[in-house]
Copies of this chain bind each other. A is one copy, B any other.
């Protein structure tokens, strides 16, 4: 992993240094309308941002699609991008995923830098080399493994985010905690969203990115242990796809929070994951995220959607489960009846 991760709140100077070192012939900034309006104005001291050709996509996960991708390719093409150019993705997960995929594929690969502006993209999307778009109603159905040359992680823009965005990113941090240790989980469950301590959040974020980086370095192409990072995601993606079908998208991190509860229930049922800790996580999620409303009439649709998951094969439902925090069992198979039982318990825990 030659990827450079810089933790800093001096984004302008850091970006200018990275660009000077890369010596590209042209620089493109890919962002979305919201970031363009609310964030880039705060980077007016950045030579790189001021001088770059700007490509602005529509915001929202619904626009992480092949149409937006084609528009980005077209603007790169019309703007004279070459293999010696540099692309800078400034934004949330939609921008870093789609911009990264555009960079990975334009002229078969242009270098890129990620500057995540949300907690979710800082902790999740900007590290690990997964790029892509939604397709045919499925999340990240098309994409490439391609690492950014550099990632700049900061908390500078988090104060501009709605609390829901911060919570959305925090769900991935909770997941990383569960993949790490009982102590880490305890620290994360003690966090108070009504009085956000930014110093504490930055230190938790740094630890969280480190957990992910360690796992990805061991297994960059998701052949084995990297699938641990899918904890909460098999169910979470199914919830997201179900919400898309209902034409009412839910934040990715919320879906992961709820999916994590279901998968910890499965971990309890199949791997004796501690029920006290399961209840503590479920309480934290219910208090801070509410619940994704499902009835037993949705179970078959949810299970169908799980079959579309990239980790599922031959009709089996495949999960990353835990026997305890940090004790990971990838490729755990559960049958549909067990998953339905877990969804029943999820509804009890969520009070729905």
Type the 1/0 row for A140-183, where 1 means its CB is closer than 8 Å to any CB of B.
11111100000000000000000000000000000000000000
In the complex, A138 Cα to B308 Cα: how many Å?
34
A64: CB under 8 A from chain B?
no
Q: In the complex, which of the residues B25, B105, B109 contacts A105, with contact meaning CB atoms closer than 8 Å?
A: B105
Q: Which of B70, B84, B221, B311 contacts A313 (CB 8 A)?
A: B84
Q: Does A47 contact B (CB under 8 A)?
A: no
Determine the main DSSP class of A at the interface with B. Answer: mixed
| B73–A106 touching, CB < 8 Å | no
Q: Which residues of B contact A142 (CB under 8 A)?
A: 73, 105-108
Q: Cβ of A140: which chain B residues have Cβ within 8 Å of it?
A: 108
The complex places the Cα of A178 from the Cα of B38 at a distance, in Å, of 56
User: Which of A74-82, A253-261, A282-290, A292-300 touches B?
Assistant: A74-82
Residues of A within 8 A of B (CB): 25, 66, 70, 73-74, 77-78, 80, 82-84, 104-109, 130, 132, 135-136, 138, 140-145, 221, 307-308, 310-314
Query: A71 vs B130: C-alpha distance in the bound complex, in angstroms?
Result: 23
Chain B residues contacting A104 (CB-CB under 8 Å) are 144
Asked if B105 and A138 sit within 8 Å, CB to CB, the answer is no
Please, which residue of chain B has its CB at the minimum distance from the CB of A136? B77
Q: Which of B25, B74, B105, B141 contacts A143 (CB 8 A)?
A: B105
Return chain B residues, CB-CB under 8 Å to A108: 130, 132, 140, 142-145, 310
For residue A268, give the distance in angstroms from its CB to the closest CB of chain B: 28
**Contact for A82 among B132, B144, B313, CB less than 8 A:** B313
